[in-house]
Amino acid sequence: MKIKSPIANWLIARVATWLLRLLFLTVRVEHHSVAPEGTPYRKPTLAQRYCFCLWHDAIIVCVYSLKTWFLGGLISRHQDGTYLAHAAKLAGITPVRGSASRGGAQATRQLIDQPHLHVCITPDGPRGPRREMKDGIVYLASRTNRPVVPNTVIGTNCWHIPGGWSDMLLPKPFSRILLIAGTPIPIPADSTREQISEYADRIQMEMDRLDVLGRRIIAGDRSLLDLIGQEGVYPDDRGTAPRQKAA
């Protein structure tokens, strides 16, 4: 059922935000980032801003786990995005309405006009397929001079709330969450369609790799922390050439 009343949407977002903040007070969060300023969870001291790439199922964790600084969120113009836009504002995040399919040009202009903002993008949204990269984030990064930072979110004990095409990760009370922000990937401003597609494949590979690393790290293999910044290198590749994506 779609709720069209702006007041009702605001109230739902307010209650949900309050409950989620209470929940995350009980959650232990560990965060690692390759670049000192390549994370929305540290107050930036330099002018450079980034596109933070995360999967749709990690939105709740990324918004409520730690305090963010100067962060905008690319949020779909679909009705479901209205709830998220209200919640984002309440969490201190600036909503940028649009996606690769609807309102992309307007979202790009907003980000060009707000160079002080990082931007968080879920490249498998708003309709999936789940955890499959689309080119929109690469195009946006190339036009706004924001390198793409691949991210992963891993939890030790979580609910997986089912949705239409993707579930939503929600940590259980007193569980642990691991957030990893990988190596920033600059996108040339004059990238062609083919180059944009190649960069999207590269980011997909890095998102998948960080997910593998994150699961091993949170399971107790702390020796893998030094591999986070080594793009393309998997746990079993240490001392060998980086693994290449299968054809």
Best CA proximity match to 54, nearest among 43, 44, 67, 40: 40
Q: Can you tell me the mean pLDDT for 1-23?
A: 80
Q: Can you tell me the mean pLDDT for 134-159?
A: 95
Which pLDDT belongs to residue 13?
Answer: 81
State percent of the chain over pLDDT 90.
Answer: 68
Kind and range of the H or E run holding 109:
helix 104-113
Which pLDDT belongs to residue 163?
Answer: 82
Residue whose entry in the numeric block shows the structure tokens 């059922």 = 1
Q: Which of 36-40, 109-113, 189-193, 197-201 has the lowest mean pLDDT?
A: 109-113
Tell me how far CA of residue 174 lies from CA of 28, 32, 143, 199, in angstroms.
Answer: 7, 20, 41, 38
Long-range contacts at 164-167 (CB < 8 A, ≥ 24 apart): 164/127, 165/127, 165/128, 165/129, 165/130, 166/55, 166/56, 166/57, 166/124, 166/125, 166/128, 166/130, 166/131, 167/57
Q: What is the dihedral of CA 51, 58, 153, 24, to 10 degrees?
A: 110
Which pLDDT belongs to residue 112?
Answer: 86
Q: What is the pLDDT of residues 67-98, one digit of tens each?
A: 999 999 987 766 556 667 778 888 899 988 76
Positive or negative, the CA dihedral 158, 159, 163, 168 is negative
Q: Average model confidence (pLDDT) for the chain?
A: 88
Chain-centroid distance, C-alpha 89: 17
Instruction: Tell me the whole-structure pTM to 2 decimals.
Output: 0.89
Residue whose entry in the numeric block shows the structure tokens 């910044």 = 229
| Alpha-carbon gap, residue 183 to 181, rounded angstroms | 7
State the pLDDT confidence band at 242, using cuts at 50, 70 and 90. very low
Q: Please check the confidence at residue 206 and state whether its pLDDT lies above 70.
A: yes
State percent of the chain over pLDDT 70.
Answer: 88
Which pLDDT belongs to residue 187?
Answer: 97
Which pLDDT belongs to residue 159?
Answer: 95
Bond from prior residue into 129 cis (ω within 30 degrees of 0):
yes
Alpha-carbon Rg for the chain in angstroms = 18
Q: What is the dihedral of CA 207, 210, 216, 218, to 10 degrees?
A: -100
Size of the chain in residues: 247
Q: Can you tell me the mean pLDDT for 58-68?
A: 94
The crossing angle, in degrees rounded to 10, of helices 136-144 and 104-113 is 30
